[in-house]
């Protein structure tokens, strides 16, 4: 029977495809073992691969891949003990750029719905694979968690719930608790922005420094009973809007579901190796804004931070990249304002509509307020999706900062690297950013390293799922034929 033999061939091909794509998706970090590991735990002795013949390359990469897969399957190597005893332990921060999850509305076509549904699990696969492999101490999502700031409270809640459960595998009972306390007459989440605003007004009516809860110390988990890493959410323009758009509703619901937009956490301040994380809401640094009081709050945050006179190293996490000239990264500087006459929303006349970078002036002030102690640090941003690495070089005589592709060493007081983390979205190949902080006892300084671990376009993940399903179906039919 011809048809049956053809059928069998298709089924065999399908099986092969399913096996290969599923093994690949399950073990993808092993394809790039050093890019997908913390610095110092993996031998980076990449030999001069370019000099090898094609066949030798195949052998080299296969061996490297198989070795890494084996390491993952048989963990608990004795030398892990020694790294654990290292004092202080390395800092392992995992950063995800701009997931931008989309929403489903009543007019969304079914194919798009399926795509959005699958995309949540594609992102979830990346997050869970990388966490299982690397056990980060900190996880940061670089803003633009969602794809639009123009959504209602109920949709904002629904996406938060998908973000938490499908992508990051987190418990959503606290979220459900919030909804049970703050809902409309149909039981859908509704933020009480008026009381939130009143609380803020009350604080703003007091003398500075305002008590806005910016300070944290030695926090390694918000929920130590259930989690052994610290989860950090960062505001993006798609989560709260640019300053010309941000309303009380936008900001209060972010605060309620994702936590504060500005805070710092200081670690090990009484040791020889203090360091800190600074989470900065870069959307609310410049205007003209719709609610300029929010911008006041962010500057108040930076002044309080500066007043700490902190002695250690800083990891700055924020969404909008700092100012740099055209040509250094994919995005050049661009700032747009609403026109003077803006019919759809007249009250937005001339307000800040969007920006690719912070302005040059604001960038300088931010760097001087945060990196004033001349200790090394690292800046992680999101926003441009393509990714970029830049150095901010501080001139020792003028105190000015200049962005450049490289460390401009002679005469420079300090160079701080800014990493614009390439997006986690499938179109950008599902990346995970890995920051390793290592304390160098000889110099008495923290050293910071970054690497980017790519996955692949979402279609490969889809093929792995669909081919597995189809193959199962094909063999069942074959048996029946
Ligand atoms: C959010 O999810 C709930 C429960 O599934 C649903 O009833 C509601 O309509 C959703 N909200 C929006 C805006 O789609
Ligand atoms: C960040 O967001 C997640 C998901 O909503 C939440 O569980 C977590 O508590 C948030 N972080 C903070 C500091 O509130």
Give the CA distances from residue 372 to residues 105, 395, 401, in Å, rounded to whole numbers and listed in that order. 48, 13, 12
Question: Which residue has the CA at smallest separation from atom 10 of ligand 2?
Answer: 258
Q: How far is the CA of 457 from the centre of ligand 2 (A)?
A: 28
**Distance from the CA of 217 to the center of ligand 2, in angstroms?**
17
For ligand 1, atom 7, which residue shows the shortest CA distance? Answer: 188
Sign of CA dihedral 398, 399, 404, 408: positive
CA–CA distance, 282 with 168 (Å, rounded to integer): 24
Q: Is 158 in the pocket of ligand 1 (CB under 6 A)?
A: yes
Residue 18 lies in a domain: no
What does the alpha-carbon distance between residue 167 and residue 426 come to, in Å, rounded to a whole number?
Answer: 14
Classify residue 27: in a domain, yes or no.
no
Ligand 2: residue whose CA is nearest its atom 12: 259
* Predicted pLDDT of residue 76: 61
With a CB cutoff of 8 Å and minimum separation 6, the contacts of 77 are: 71
Give residue 81's pLDDT. 46
Given the CA of residue 157, which atom of ligand 1 is nearest to it? 1
Ligand 2 centroid – CA 259 distance (Å) = 6
pTM to 2 decimal places:
0.94
Which three-class secondary structure string do you get for 140-206?
A: EECCCCECCCCCCHHHHHHHHHHHHHHHCCCCCHHHHHHHHHCECCCCCECCCHHHHHHHHHHHHCC
Question: 167: Cβ below 6 Å to ligand 2?
Answer: no
Q: Is the CB of 165 under 6 A from ligand 2?
A: no
Of ligand 2's listed atoms, the one at least distance from the Cα of 223 is 9
First to last CA, the chain: 10
For each of the chain's 481 residues, which pLDDT tens digit applies? Answer: 557 888 889 999 999 999 999 999 999 999 999 999 998 654 555 567 778 889 999 999 999 999 999 999 987 655 554 455 578 999 999 999 999 999 998 999 999 999 999 999 999 999 999 999 999 999 999 999 999 989 999 999 999 999 999 999 999 999 999 999 999 999 999 999 999 999 999 999 999 999 999 999 999 999 998 888 999 999 999 999 999 999 999 999 999 999 999 999 999 999 999 999 999 999 999 999 999 999 999 999 999 999 999 999 999 999 999 999 999 999 999 999 999 999 999 999 999 999 999 999 999 999 999 999 999 999 999 999 999 999 999 987 788 899 999 888 765 678 999 999 999 999 999 999 999 999 999 999 999 999 999 999 999 999 999 999 999 999 998 888 7
Q: 269-303 burial, b for 16+ CB within 10 Å, e for fewer?
A: eeeebbbbbbbbbbbbbbbebbbeebbebbbbbbe
**What pLDDT score was predicted for residue 52?**
85
Q: How many C-alpha atoms does 6 have within 13 Å on its Cβ side?
A: 3
Residue 142, phi then psi, degrees to nearest 5: -80, 25
Q: DSSP characters for 15-29?
A: HHHHHHHHHHHHHGG
Ligand 2: does its nearest atom lie under 6 Å from the Cβ of 258?
A: yes
Residues 6+ apart with CB under 8 A from 192: 182, 252
Which pLDDT value is given to residue 132?
A: 95
- 154 Cα–ligand 1 center, Å: 6
Say which CATH number the domain at 293 has.
3.60.21
Q: Which of 345, 369, 437, 358 is nearest to 92 (CA)?
A: 437
CB count, 10 Å around CB of 363? 23
Q: How many domains does the chain have?
A: 1
Whether residue 23 lies inside any domain: the answer is no
Is any ligand 1 atom within 6 A of the Cβ of residue 137? no
> What pLDDT is attached to residue 338?
97
With a 6 Å cutoff on the Cβ, whether 231 touches ligand 2 is yes
Q: What is the pLDDT of residue 481?
A: 78
Q: Which domain holds residue 231?
A: 88-453
Atom of ligand 1 nearest to the CA of 105: 14
Q: Is residue 200 part of a domain?
A: yes
Ligand 2 near 449 CB (within 6 A): no
Radius of gyration, alpha carbons of the chain: 25
Select from 179, 188, 191, 253 the residue to mutate for testing ligand 1; criterion: most ligand atoms less than 8 Å from CB.
188
89 alpha carbon – ligand 2 mean position (Å): 25
Laid out side by side, the sheet with 313-318 consists of 215-217, 263-267, 275-280, 313-318, 377-381, 412-420, 388-395, 401-404
**Measured distance CA(179)–CA(185) in Å, rounded:** 12
Give the closest residue to 34 by CA, choosing from 57, 52, 61. 61
Whether residue 459 lies inside any domain: the answer is no
Identify whether 281 is part of a domain: yes
Task: Please check whether residue 473 lies inside any domain of the structure.
Answer: no
């Amino acid at each position: 029977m011809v048809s049956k033999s053809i059928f069998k061939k298709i089924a065999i091909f399908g099986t092969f495809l399913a096996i290969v794509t599923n093994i690949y998706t399950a073990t993808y970090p092993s394809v790039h073992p050093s890019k997908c590991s913390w610095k110092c735990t993996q031998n980076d002795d990449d030999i001069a691969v370019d000099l090898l013949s094609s066949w030798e390359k195949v052998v080299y990469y296969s061996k490297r891949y198989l070795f890494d897969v084996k390491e993952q399957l048989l963990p608990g190597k004795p030398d892990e003990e020694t790294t654990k005893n290292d004092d202080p332990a390395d800092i392992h921060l995992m950063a995800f750029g701009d997931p931008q999850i989309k929403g489903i509305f009543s007019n969304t076509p079914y194919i798009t719905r399926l795509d959005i549904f699958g995309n949540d699990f594609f992102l979830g696969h990346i997050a869970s694979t990388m966490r299982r492999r690397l056990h980060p101490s900190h996880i940061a999502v670089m803003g633009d968690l969602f794809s639009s700031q123009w959504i209602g409270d109920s949709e904002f809640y629904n996406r938060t719930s998908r973000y938490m459960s499908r992508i990051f595998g987190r418990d959503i009972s606290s979220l459900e608790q919030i909804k049970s306390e703050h809902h409309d007459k149909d039981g859908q989440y509704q933020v009480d922005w008026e009381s939130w605003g009143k609380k803020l007004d009350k604080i703003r009516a007091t003398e500075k420094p305002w008590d806005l809860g910016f300070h944290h110390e030695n926090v390694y988990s918000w929920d130590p009973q259930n989690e052994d890493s610290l989860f950090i959410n960062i505001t993006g323009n798609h989560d709260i809007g640019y300053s010309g758009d941000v309303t009380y509703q936008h900001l209060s619901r972010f605060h309620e579901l994702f936590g504060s937009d500005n805070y710092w956490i200081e670690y090990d301040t009484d040791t020889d190796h203090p360091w800190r994380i600074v989470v900065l809401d870069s959307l609310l640094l410049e205007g003209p804004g719709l609610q300029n009081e929010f911008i006041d709050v962010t500057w108040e945050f930076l002044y309080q931070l500066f007043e700490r006179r902190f002695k250690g190293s800083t990891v700055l996490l924020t969404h909008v990249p700092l100012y740099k000239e055209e040509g250094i990264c994919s995005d050049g500087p661009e700032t747009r304002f609403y026109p003077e006459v803006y019919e759809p929303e007249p009250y937005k006349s001339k307000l800040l509509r969007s920006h690719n970078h912070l302005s040059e002036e604001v960038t300088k002030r931010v760097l001087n307020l945060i990196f004033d102690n001349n200790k090394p640090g690292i800046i992680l941003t999101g926003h441009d999706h393509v990714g970029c690495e830049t150095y901010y070089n501080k001139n020792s005589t003028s105190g000015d900062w200049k962005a450049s592709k490289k460390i401009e060493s002679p005469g420079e007081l300090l160079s701080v690297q800014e990493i614009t983390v390439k997006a986690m979205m499938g179109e950008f190949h599902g990346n995970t950013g890995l920051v390793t902080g290592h304390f160098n006892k000889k110099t008495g300084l923290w050293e910071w390293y970054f690497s980017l671990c790519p996955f692949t376009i979402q279609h490969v993940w889809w093929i792995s799922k669909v081919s597995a399903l189809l193959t199962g179906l094909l063999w069942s039919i074959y048996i029946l034929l």
